[in-house]
Structure 1
Amino acid sequence: MTEHDSAPIAGLDRGQGVALWRQIAGAIEQEIAQGLRVPGARLPTEAEFTARFGVNRHTVRRAMESLEGRGLIRIEQGRGSFVAEDVLDYPLGSRTRFSENIRRQNKEPQGRIIRILTIEAEGAVASALGVRRGRPVLRVDRLGMADSTPITIGSHHFPLPRFQAMPAMLAEQASISVALAACGVPDYRRRSTRITARMPTAEEAALLQQARIRPVIVSEALNCDPDGRPVDFTWARYASGRVQILVEGE
């Protein structure tokens, strides 16, 4: 059976002049609105939707892409499609802490260290931390999650040798704030933030479990200790379908 057959199947009306993919998208959207498919729930596969609606996979795929483009679902390569979760407000102020922000949303914060390495300071990193180009700095890449859902990837840069104990601290607990406190910086303030957006790399899309056609929000932030010395230059990428940045005043 093809899309052009005249008999309606599974609620589709081939005679009303509305594209079939739009009708399929509307049916799935209605199920989400009625609570039949809850946030985070896995959706049927393309093959299952094809059988349900009696159309070809191209039509189902177009409907799913439409829903994803509107932020109603998220498509994860190799994992399937899921109902989009509620968008989190993520405040950026002078004292931003990931765990505190996530708990404000009644969710449980989690973190996973992706990699730790020593790199040569270049460009924005050297300028922000106030070190000469080519000097070694510690880079920590960390995945931040809310209720096990990926929210942000943070690439943190710490001046050496001041924070040479950071890897050992993070091995005990994957919290940047806790590790900084263990290294003698119990409090720090954000001095500056720059926010942009771009398309994700393949690794970023995989870690954030989002499609590469959906942009990420990018922030560059410099954190300083109470004496004004730079302690952490962070380059963060946020899943734009799950986070909206809220810039707070003093």
Structure 2
Amino acid sequence: MDAQEQTPGLVRGEGLTAWRQIADALTADIAAGRYAPGQQMPTEAALAARFAVNRHTVRRALAALAESGLVRASQGRGTFVEEAPLAYPIGPRTRFSEIVTGAGREAWGDLLASATVPAGPKQAAALAIEPGAPILELLTIHRADDAPISTAQTWLPLPRFSGFAAAYAERGSITRAFAACGVHDYTRLSTRIRARPADAQEAERLDIAPGRVVMVVSSVNIDSAGVPIQANRTLFAADRVELVIGG
């Protein structure tokens, strides 16, 4: 018997709104495994038919599930049950692609924008260069099985990494882009972590509701000679990862 066949009628006129009853029913369906992690939820039209309500009521119920972190809405694709949080170790050799594929999921990164900019005081200090020196700035998004896990701003010294943006756009991986630029190993020099609410633009990139918590990880990586090669600020959707420190 499927979820639709098990749905009781909505209780009318007893102080519990229709959308809340629908949200509770769908929450119970997810908890019971009727909709598996990563699975697409039925369309608004199908849910409206199941519960005998209009699509606006269904939309409000799905929004409540998204706000609670049970589902995510992907524009143009539908609504999906959230995966279990990804265990994400932070250590000397943190590699997004290796972590994601090690969890049995597909990893990919997209380059959203790149530009040559003058190094600000923080970037200059992190990269051990003079303030105002030209650096490459990248804006990227990183996915596991199409679910956005993080979005990042990355700064790299020039002219050493003048070809990095093209290498990353082609390969979808920071590690492989570094290898294409002659850096075959690098390690983490420092990591700082804090939490804050996502703004509207960040929320859109991560497919989360504005105001949901993101973990902000600021880091510096160095090459085998100890030279800083990358300063990074990564925003993780807090519902989708568990940062693991020291094993």
Q: TM-score range by the shorter chain?
A: 0.7 to 0.9
Per-residue CA deviations over 1:23-68 (Å, capped at 9, x if unaligned) read 3222111221233222233334556544543456675455434423
Per-residue CA deviations over 1:181-222 (Å, capped at 9, x if unaligned) read 232321111111111222334333232222223222211000
Which sections of structure 1, spanning at least 5 residues, go unmatched? 1-8
Q: TM-score, normalised by structure 2?
A: 0.84
Task: State the AA in 2 paired with 1:38.
Answer: A
Per-residue CA deviations over 1:1-25 (Å, capped at 9, x if unaligned) read xxxxxxxx94323477655444322
Of 237, 244, 247, 1:246 maps to: 244
**1:102 to partner: Cα distance:** 0.4
| Aligned structure 1 segments of 4 or more residues deviating by more than 6 angstroms | none
Name the SS for the 1:163 alignment partner.
coil
Which sections of structure 2, spanning at least 5 residues, go unmatched? 1-6
User: For residues 167 and 25 of structure 1, do their structure 2 counterparts lie closer, same or farther at Cα, with a shift above 3 Å needed?
Assistant: closer
1:97 maps to 95
After the TM superposition, which residues 30-179 of structure 1 pair with which residues of structure 2 at under 5 Å, given as runs? 30-46=28-44, 48-54=46-52, 60-76=58-74, 80-179=78-177
Per-residue CA deviations over 1:130-173 (Å, capped at 9, x if unaligned) read 12221110112222111222211122111112222323433542
> How much identity, in percent, do the aligned residues show?
45
Bigger Rg over Cα: 1
Q: Distance in 2 between matches of 1:171 and 1:227?
A: 26
**1:117 to partner: Cα distance:** 1.2
Residues 199 and 211 in structure 2, CA contact (< 8 A), matched pair in contact too: no
Residues 222 and 228 in structure 2, CA contact (< 8 A), matched pair in contact too: yes
Name the SS for the 1:133 alignment partner.
coil
Q: TM-score, normalised by structure 1?
A: 0.83
After the TM superposition, which residues 21-36 of structure 1 pair with which residues of structure 2 at under 5 Å, given as runs? 21-36=19-34
Supply the RMSD in Å over aligned alpha carbons.
Answer: 2.6
User: For residues 47 and 179 of structure 1, do their structure 2 counterparts lie closer, same or farther at Cα, with a shift above 3 Å needed?
Assistant: closer
- Greater displacement, 152-161 / 41-50: 41-50
- Greater displacement, 180-189 / 131-140: 180-189
Number of matched pairs: 241
